[in-house]
Amino acid sequence: MSEHVIELNDSNFDQTVASSPALLVDFWAPWCGPCRMIAPVIEELGKELAGKVVVAKVNVDDAAGVAGAHGITSIPTLMIFKNGALVDRSTGLASKAALLGKLQAL
Is the distance from CB of 2 to CB of 39 less than 8 angstroms?
no
Establish whether 32 is a catalytic residue: yes
Nearest to 106 by CA among 46, 49, 48: 49
Query: Cα angle vertex 75, ends 73, 77, to 5°?
Result: 90
Strand, coil or helix: what is 14? helix
Catalytic residue among 32, 38, 49, 58: 32
Catalytic-role residue among 17, 23, 24, 35:
35
The question of whether 34 is a catalytic residue gets the answer no
Active-site residues, by number, are 32, 35
